[in-house]
Structure 1
Amino acid sequence: MKSKLWIVLRKELRETLRDRRTLGMLALVSLLYPLMIGLILHQLIDKSTKTEREGIELAVIGAAKAPTLMAQLGQRNITVKDTAPMDEDAIGQLLHAKKTVAVLRLPEDFVENYQAMRPARVEVWFDSASENGAQRREVEEVLDAYSRNVASARLLAHGVSPAALAPVVVQRYDTGTNASRSAVLIGSLLGLLFLPAFIMTMSGAVDSTAGERERRSLEVLMAQPATTWELIGGKILAISLLGVVGVTVELLLGHVVLKWLPLEEIGMSWSVGWGHLLLVCLVTAPLSLLASALYVTLAMNAKTFKEAQTILSIVMLVPFIPSMVVSFMDLKTAQWMYLVPMLSNQTLAKELSKGGDIGSLPFLLTFLCSAIPALLLAAFASWRMKTERYVLAV
């Protein structure tokens, strides 16, 4: 004889899979997040490597007055475009047209002041609203380096060592790896990959509780020779399967996207192997169970289908509050984070992206922090379902 829980599970799955339009929309939303992460990182890589690929075009007014400076600009892949003198309005129009990163103007008295060893003024005109701030800062770095070189040469000409201007030399040693540096950005983006656990389970939870009540099919289901634990368990398992599939597909697709992107171009890397990724998928399965149990428990309280949708739409945002608080307060990774559902999954993915060995305890805590509340909620919903007056909202 077949288990009654298995029968309820098959019945709920059949009804859920029958609504192909809703499933199609859920699948589209689930696949959208890995592609969105790939697009964000691709744009970041493209923006960071734009200078190396295209170079920097700099308009210079009076370039002949400083040939050494022009040579140093050329060494940094900065193309100097000699420009005729123009007024402020013309410079503004040139910058607004985005044909140049900035305009470098050397005044008429530049050579005179330079030869007299007085401060020779150099004007840098730029548009702060444009997106070429990194290229402009590179131009300013060349100007600063040129100024230091001139100062050093003048000190040597007067018999003074340039080292006198730098009594303390600071040497910086960065022990961070590409993986650890990228963990902050990539770890925060990976939090989106766990969304299907709550998105793909909501519609099924509403339909199998408040929906069945409005269709009057819940009374028929409760009249069957099955315990409330079997009825609730079958519903929760059937609903959670969609979440498990959605999260697994997103994690696998996100892993493929991160492996494909040239993250080393921006000093990042993705070093998570397939073994660790499969473990993450395994310990994330209870998160879908928790979402399903929570939704079913709350939807049973709703008197109408619309009320259940409203309640669950608000509750769906609650699991993301701890992650937002941790991000806002800039808290370091601590052991207690593995005891908070959803936050534990994001923390686990973030720590794995650093490439170090985190041990087995975080995996176990991540699994249990969702599995135990899911079982307690299922038991509570099963106990409440014994009261027909409560379930049928009469």
Structure 2
Amino acid sequence: MMRQLWAVARKEFVDARRDPRSIMTLVGYSLMGPVMMLAAFTALVENETRNEKTVAVQHLDRAPGLAAHLQEQGFELETLDPELDILQAIGDHDAILRPAADFQASLRAGQPAQIELVLDTSKTSSQSMARRVEQAMAVWSGELASLRLMALGVSPQAAQPIEMQRRDVASRADRAALVLSGFQVFVLIAAFFGSMHVCIDATAGERERRSLEALLVQPVSAFSLVVGKWLVAAGYGLFGVALTLTAMGILLPMAPLGELGISYQPTPQSVLTMFALIAPLALLASGLQMLAASYAKSFKEAQTYLSLLMFVPMVPAMAVSFLQLDAEPWMFAVPVLGQQQLLSDALREVPPDLLSFGIATSVVVGAGLVCVLITARLYGSERMLRGL
């Protein structure tokens, strides 16, 4: 049987290698995820840390004290024409302050002084600027409130009966894992995407090229035939996972995550650990794809089926995200979800639990073997030649 497996695997490997475009597509996808994450992190940090502090003010003469405070906070003030239409002006500015006509009178009377902050929430830069302006305004409002209380002979601390101190116990690794949670989907999909073209070519492609008949009459059992195809497809899935993780290890350290208080420096050992945790998923992915593609009567039909299967890795990630579920022991017994939890722990630099790893691995490998056995039964039937 081993000789049969080796012969089938070698034949499928040669067939897959003859399609360089599929291999280049696999390489391109494997690099796409880390590149997109690097670009997204760079843009996020640039937006959060940029030093743009120019704020436009209309009717600046109504609030000289506010203008002085904003300048002390490092803002540059741009005075706008009082007659300028505010809806047209906001298109050229991130935020505009408009003190009310009775701003000074309200302050002198000890009443709340009205000021309007105009912004366009459809622009990220406008939201960031508005947040900085609101923080500066809150500081000035607190200072004025303290002065009013002292003028009345009341200690400002009397207005703050409770002082809450915020203590964040999350480690830098925990914060990094939260930010990198989207990267898990790219790694999980790589296991499915890597084996997809091999599974299609080895099943529906064989039938469409009319080479399936010649293959089935060979002195090779249906089980050996399917297992040989399965192992080659799983090998390409592992290749996709390895490329994605390698690209992550090279590109993500280039992201300026330190500006966000996040430290993540993947080591070769951590990358190898993540690969070992995800590797069993390639067996399930290739087995499930071979089973689905065996029911397809043409190459295009198989592509449709397997394209829908690409959503399988996304479902657990979306469910955990939308339902805001915490890690539970039962999750490791769910295919794909267990690998996602193991990968999440690895990103947090938590040593993998051997029991959880054993359960998650047994489930996906067992499910992959079930798919292979069902596919082998299909290949042992005459209906496979006629199309299922």
Shared fold, TM over 0.5 = yes
Within the alignment, does 1:339 sit opposite 2:339 as a pair? no
**Whole-angstrom CA distance in 2 between matches of 1:393 and 1:111:** 84
| Cα contact 1:179–1:353 (8 A) shared by 2 | yes
**Whole-angstrom CA distance in 1 between matches of 2:68 and 2:357:** 57
Q: Measure how far apart 1:185 and its partner are.
A: 3.1
| Residue of structure 2 in register with 1:117 after alignment | 110
- Distance verdict in 2 for CA 1:60–1:34, change over 3 Å: same
| Cα contact 1:107–1:122 (8 A) shared by 2 | yes
Q: Measure how far apart 1:244 and its partner are.
A: 0.8
Within the alignment, does 1:317 sit opposite 2:311 as a pair? yes
- 1:341-369 deviation digits (Å, cap 9, x = unpaired): 22222222222222334433333333322
Task: Please tell me the residue identity of whatever aligns with 1:75.
Answer: E
Task: Please tell me the residue identity of whatever aligns with 1:21.
Answer: R
TM-score, scaled relative to structure 1: 0.89
Q: Measure how far apart 1:173 and its partner are.
A: 1.4
Q: Measure how far apart 1:66 and its partner are.
A: 4.4
Q: Measure how far apart 1:316 and its partner are.
A: 3.0
- 1:311-331 deviation digits (Å, cap 9, x = unpaired): 222233234323322222111
SS in structure 1 at match of 2:96: strand
| Cα contact 2:193–2:240 (8 A) shared by 1 | no
SS in structure 2 at match of 1:80: strand
**Whole-angstrom CA distance in 1 between matches of 2:104 and 2:75:** 22
SS in structure 1 at match of 2:7: helix
| Cα contact 2:333–2:359 (8 A) shared by 1 | yes
**Whole-angstrom CA distance in 2 between matches of 1:139 and 1:119:** 18
Within the alignment, does 1:192 sit opposite 2:186 as a pair? yes
Deviates more, 1:234-243 or 1:278-287: 278-287
- Distance verdict in 2 for CA 1:133–1:386, change over 3 Å: same
Task: Please tell me the residue identity of whatever aligns with 1:175.
Answer: V
| Cα contact 2:5–2:227 (8 A) shared by 1 | yes
Q: Match for 2:133 among 128, 139, 142?
A: 139
| Residue of structure 1 in register with 2:277 after alignment | 283
Q: Match for 1:72 among 39, 55, 69?
A: 69
Q: Measure how far apart 1:18 and its partner are.
A: 0.5
Residues 294-333 of structure 1: pairs in structure 2 closer than 5 A: 294-333=288-327
Deviates more, 1:239-248 or 1:333-342: 333-342
Within the alignment, does 1:93 sit opposite 2:85 as a pair? no
- Distance verdict in 2 for CA 1:248–1:219, change over 3 Å: same
Deviates more, 1:69-78 or 1:225-234: 69-78
Query: How many residue pairs end up in the alignment?
Result: 387
- 1:1-48 deviation digits (Å, cap 9, x = unpaired): 982211111111111111112222232222212211211222111111
| Residue of structure 2 in register with 1:58 after alignment | 55
Within the alignment, does 1:128 sit opposite 2:121 as a pair? yes
| Cα contact 2:189–2:310 (8 A) shared by 1 | no
Q: Match for 1:176 among 167, 170, 180?
A: 170
TM-score, scaled relative to structure 2: 0.91
| Residue of structure 1 in register with 2:4 after alignment | 4
Q: Measure how far apart 1:282 and its partner are.
A: 2.1
Deviates more, 1:336-345 or 1:105-114: 105-114
Task: Please tell me the residue identity of whatever aligns with 1:126.
Answer: L
Within the alignment, does 1:104 sit opposite 2:119 as a pair? no
Task: Please tell me the residue identity of whatever aligns with 1:239.
Answer: A
| Cα contact 1:9–1:237 (8 A) shared by 2 | yes
| Cα contact 1:62–1:85 (8 A) shared by 2 | yes
**Whole-angstrom CA distance in 1 between matches of 2:71 and 2:237:** 56
SS in structure 2 at match of 1:195: helix
Q: Match for 2:231 among 229, 237, 241?
A: 237
The percentage of counterpart residues that share the same residue type is 34
Q: Measure how far apart 1:235 and its partner are.
A: 0.7
- Distance verdict in 2 for CA 1:196–1:110, change over 3 Å: closer
| Residue of structure 1 in register with 2:358 after alignment | 364
SS in structure 2 at match of 1:160: coil
Deviates more, 1:243-252 or 1:31-40: 31-40
Q: Measure how far apart 1:145 and its partner are.
A: 1.8
Task: Please tell me the residue identity of whatever aligns with 2:355.
Answer: L
**Whole-angstrom CA distance in 1 between matches of 2:384 and 2:104:** 90
- Distance verdict in 2 for CA 1:245–1:82, change over 3 Å: same
Q: Measure how far apart 1:338 and its partner are.
A: 1.7
**Whole-angstrom CA distance in 2 between matches of 1:342 and 1:255:** 22
**Whole-angstrom CA distance in 2 between matches of 1:302 and 1:65:** 74
Within the alignment, does 1:273 sit opposite 2:267 as a pair? yes
Deviates more, 1:294-303 or 1:236-245: 294-303
- 1:134-182 deviation digits (Å, cap 9, x = unpaired): 2212212222221221121121122111122112222221111222133
SS in structure 2 at match of 1:105: strand
| Residue of structure 1 in register with 2:373 after alignment | 379
- Distance verdict in 2 for CA 1:323–1:126, change over 3 Å: closer
**Whole-angstrom CA distance in 2 between matches of 1:107 and 1:164:** 30
- Distance verdict in 2 for CA 1:378–1:69, change over 3 Å: same
Q: Measure how far apart 1:392 and its partner are.
A: 4.3
Q: Measure how far apart 1:255 and its partner are.
A: 2.4
- Distance verdict in 2 for CA 1:106–1:317, change over 3 Å: closer
| Residue of structure 2 in register with 1:226 after alignment | 220
| Cα contact 2:191–2:238 (8 A) shared by 1 | yes
Structure 1 residue runs without a partner (length 5+)? none
| Residue of structure 1 in register with 2:199 after alignment | 205
Q: Measure how far apart 1:231 and its partner are.
A: 1.0
**Whole-angstrom CA distance in 1 between matches of 2:232 and 2:372:** 13
| Cα contact 1:155–1:161 (8 A) shared by 2 | yes
| Residue of structure 1 in register with 2:148 after alignment | 154
